Structure 1
């Protein structure tokens, strides 16, 4: 990890990264408890790790990487719709509220932008992959 990314990730943890990472982990635990939600629990844990250290990584659709699997087809669409109803909307709302609070300050603007990107990911996470930049 580059020094700039490391520095931004440390600041990120102070400005909402820990809070939202815990939210993603809570969503993963709730999904795992239901047994039916196990497929979404794995995705939520992956995104929780990304939420804790977002700088130096990016999220791209697996279809763009040339990977065709169950998450990139019609079942991925259905999975994303179920996720949206069960957990996606409240994670996206939490990211949005955190972004608004951070956007009030000039120092928080880059972190607000990162929270907005994560809000979009919270709405539609299935079929996405976290890759280094």
Structure 2
């Protein structure tokens, strides 16, 4: 079932979401200071391609991860979280779209706190 969900996900917007995350990573990697943030965007981009069957585990980010997460939330994270929340709400309007909306809610959490999150 996860394979079918991932294929449908790719057709109905998964590729676009992954491209947006990858472009954000490329833009952030232009400067030396933005490289850690860009790397997180690339990790999220690969997760966005095949989200079904994977879970996110938050925690164990340490002091450096805490600082980077705070900077991320202030500068970039809230935009990604709001975008994924609004897309998730639109998908959840219909019964068929609920699984896809739930995936976007997962991305919204990851978009807020990417440092220290493990994708399993």
After superposition, give the CA deviation of every residue in 1:77-132 in whole Å (9 maximum; x if it has no partner).
Answer: 1100111122211111111121121111110001101101110110011001112x
- Is structure 2 residue 57 aligned with structure 1 residue 60? yes
Find 1:76's aligned residue among 53, 65, 76.
65
Structure 1 residue runs of 4 or more that deviate by more than 6 Å after TM superposition:
none
| Correspondence 1:1-133 to 2 at 5 A | 4-61=1-58, 63=60, 72-131=61-120
Q: Which runs of 5+ in 1 are unaligned?
A: 64-71
TM normalised by structure 2 equals 0.92
Conserved 8 A contact 1:15-1:111: no
Kindly tell me the number of residue pairs found equivalent between the two proteins. Answer: 120
Provide Cα deviations, 1:55-98, integer angstroms capped at 9, x if missing partner: 121111363xxxxxxxx111111100111122211111111121
| Greater strand fraction, Structure 1 or Structure 2 | 1
- Per the normalisation by structure 1, the TM-score is 0.83
